[in-house]
Chains A and B, each alone.
Chain A
């Protein structure tokens, strides 16, 4: 069990280190001179060479690449990713500044997506009407295939510009969160709902359900009491996928609704080749991914007795 833990934790640390190293190689070694990126692109050619040299010196770009790498890695271990080239603010505080906004949006959208997904799965499982079941079961596919950009603009046109129910941009209390949450929840709910519909159906036909039927339980009692609990577990496995989907779509949602957040900061950082900021964000996102996977890996044996048994027998060489 301990080796299982150590192995999983080691893998997480490796992923974060690899993200740091890869971005360092991509950003500091491959493209244009990093000094050029500190100036206005329209003027970079007319900045006097001696000025560029002085800046390169003060930023440490004249050091050998390996020294720069080790220096930056050493600082990064302590959470110091330097300062953003475009704002002069520290990378860590820049990320910390937008994180609550993105987290609030992501957690809210995930909660809403879960509600949508469970409603879809419950309706699909509970209904005896074939047409209704078909309709409901097709919703997840539809929700994934509508571009977030389009659904966001549509919601804005109707509920912000036409009806005036919600603000169109910026942050003005809870009203500003409604449309972005709905927009972001729609695509995220798709994969979860698909998984739930399938496992609900499987569980509904399994042995213990037949037993409950035999004991005279009602359809509702079976769905809530047996199927719901057992079918919910697999949803955990798509947590990482959902996280990715949240991050990607957050960029678009934040842009359309002019909200502050990590997604837009990433986009701006890439658009301006703000190297320290890009690196900080990549490492942060990699760490978040690794952490989520680690938690899922660690929680799974707790929830699934079969896996726990395997681990105990194999001395940690589990199949997962």
Chain B
């Protein structure tokens, strides 16, 4: 006991001394400085150094810093701008895309970046290579991929079996299983051999120095790099000498390491840690995850969500303000559409179907013949208004937000039953979702309105299980309206199609109930600058720097 008291006393003194002596005033952000190592913490680790393979956040994040893409999507406007491709054109069908490549780009092993290597990358990315143990990682991003033709050493034509307007955005895609370019020498390696990071060669601003699975990945500055996206206005090589991605699974250890100065920045900041860290002088930067909101996809072919009145009542029946006030931080936002606000074509439904109007919800249920039962849950033809939801527990906000919805819906006679489980259980249950679950809750990270086509199109993801059994829904109409998003790249027309797609999913058939917009939140020391969030809310460190002496 005495020892414990002594330890606490000593600890107190040490903390006081450190605080008093070490709190140097932060230098104001000025001219970027070269050099230094950024110690970065995050929850996941890279399971494979191959950026085309990985499906977790660490993998896409690190992949973005060792590889480049054909194009760069402006995170603010959604516009597709040049990167490794200087210009491009496409046919009127949107089945053929021709890219003119930069001629001064090299891989870190000295080999040139040219049309041949683009073809080799896309072919393997879409088809995989069973002999090498490489999966068809890009098959869902580049749906209907036919081939890449080498027109000249620095011109490629990529063609598809059907119109794929979203391919232009896919050429800039930075999230999971991304099309970051690997050298020909890397593409020849098996999946197992690609776990040797020194053999995974990209054109990016950093190269692998080391990779310790479960522990950390160390990146070093690529000498001679001078082709970061023009839109970033960054000249030449990265500022930092090194970036160390430290995997720290436990939240209190991540924040403790930041506060004690062991790491300079940490991703995966918990909602309850944001304010305390900000109060201690750390800066909180964040960006909503572009793509869809966290949504409830209604199973349109299963009782009782096959009743449009039930779906509409669920959209109207919960208090969004309550969730914003009690569960979300300013880094997050409540959903105003199925699309996240940064996605081109986003429209705001907070004043119409996505408002809190319990009285209207009750009226809709009354009119549809749902009468209040003895225990408060409504009943129709002897069957209860019980709605079973399957959700994922990977984001800390999910469960409390769903519980808040559940409470409000109980007031209007809807019994929402929550099953919020880790990803493997969710994946296993998903196979039975058509017959067992009224609602699957999820989101998709893709900064393009065609994310709706992919996720809800009857012939693609079909998350609302549209079929001949779906009542009150014209399945062909949904297919046709969502399909139009892949047929044009004219901004005005595309926005109009995006609006029609949101109208049909939210208003006309009430197939989804968007809940909130998830966010990627970073806390960093005041001496860290220039961490970029891209259009998919992944980070790039080419422009990041630290004040000297830290």
Contact = CB atoms under 8 A, between A and B. Distances in A.
Interface stretch (B227-235, B460-468, B476-484): B460-468
Given A46-B454, A162-B11, A41 B427 contact: yes
A273 B428 contact: yes
A161 B11 CA distance: 9
Interface stretch (B146-154, B241-249, B510-518): B241-249
Interface in A26-42: 31-33, 36-42
Contact of A260 (B213, B252, B445, B454): B213
Interface in A1-60: 31-33, 36-48, 51, 54-55, 58
A160 B260 contact: yes
Contact of A47 (B14, B130, B139, B215): B139
**Interface size class, chain B:** 35 or more
B431 A33 contact: yes
Contacts of A171: 212, 215
Given A40-B55, A170-B246, A272-B424, A88 B462 contact: no
Nearest to B196: A89
Nearest to B11: A162
Contacts of A168: 253, 256-257, 260, 262
B422 interface: yes
A53 to B, nearest CB: 11
A260 B190 contact: no
A31 B195 CA distance: 29
Contacts of A90: 192
Contact of A264 (B177, B249, B252, B431): B249
A47 B256 contact: no
A146 interface: no
A163 B427 contact: no
Interface string A68-87: 00000000000000011011
A31 B427 CA distance: 9
Interface in A142-182: 153, 156-158, 160-164, 167-171
B97 interface: no
B471 interface: no
B212 A260 contact: yes
B521 to A, nearest CB: 20
Given A36-B431, A169-B246, A264-B249, A157 B256 contact: yes
Interface stretch (A217-225, A251-259, A312-320): A251-259
A41 to B, nearest CB: 5
Contacts of B213: 87, 97-98, 260
A258 B427 contact: no
Contact of B253 (A51, A89, A156): A156
Residue from the set A86, A88, A97, A260 with the largest chain B CB neighbour count within 10 Å: A88
A283 interface: no
Contacts of A38: 135
Interface stretch (B45-53, B309-317, B541-549): B45-53
Given A46-B140, A170-B215, A89 B427 contact: no
Nearest to B249: A255
B430 A32 contact: yes
A33 B430 CA distance: 10
A158 B7 contact: yes
B56 to A, nearest CB: 8
B216 A170 contact: yes
A122 interface: no
Given A54-B136, A88-B194, A258-B215, A36 B259 contact: no
B253 A88 contact: no
A207 B159 CA distance: 91
Nearest to A33: B431
Nearest to B177: A40
B67 interface: no
Contacts of B490: none
A169 B248 contact: yes
A261 interface: yes
A271 interface: yes
Contacts of A256: 249-250, 253
Given A260-B212, A264-B214, A87 B48 contact: yes
A87 B135 CA distance: 11
A163 B252 contact: no
B191 interface: yes
B423 interface: yes
Nearest to B190: A88
A51 B136 contact: yes
A265 interface: yes
A115 interface: no
Contacts of A132: none
B227 to A, nearest CB: 29
B260 A47 contact: no
B176 interface: yes
Contacts of B248: 169, 258
Nearest to B431: A32
Contact of B214 (A39, A260, A272): A260
Contact of B192 (A45, A83, A156, A257): A83
Given A88-B192, A169-B253, A163 B262 contact: no
A42 B14 contact: no
B404 interface: no
Nearest to B257: A168
A270 interface: yes
B424 A163 contact: no
B256 A156 contact: yes
Interface string B307-325: 0000000000000000000
A258 B48 contact: no
A201 B262 CA distance: 48
B133 interface: yes
Given A42-B443, A45-B430, A153-B253, 10 more contacts: A31-B428, A40-B176, A47-B140, A83-B133, A87-B47, A88-B195, A98-B213, A156-B252, A160-B260, A167-B262
Interface of A: 31-33, 36-48, 51, 54-55, 58, 83-84, 86-90, 93, 97-98, 153, 156-158, 160-164, 167-171, 255-261, 264-265, 268, 270-273
6 shortest A-B CB distances, which residue pairs?
A: A88-B191, A58-B130, A260-B214, A40-B55, A162-B11, A46-B461
29 contacts: A32-B430, A36-B430, A38-B135, A39-B55, A39-B135, A40-B55, A43-B444, A45-B430, A46-B460, A48-B143, A51-B140, A84-B47, A87-B48, A88-B50, A88-B53, A90-B192, A156-B253, A157-B252, A161-B260, A162-B11, A163-B11, A164-B18, A169-B262, A170-B215, A171-B215, A258-B253, A259-B215, A260-B213, A265-B214
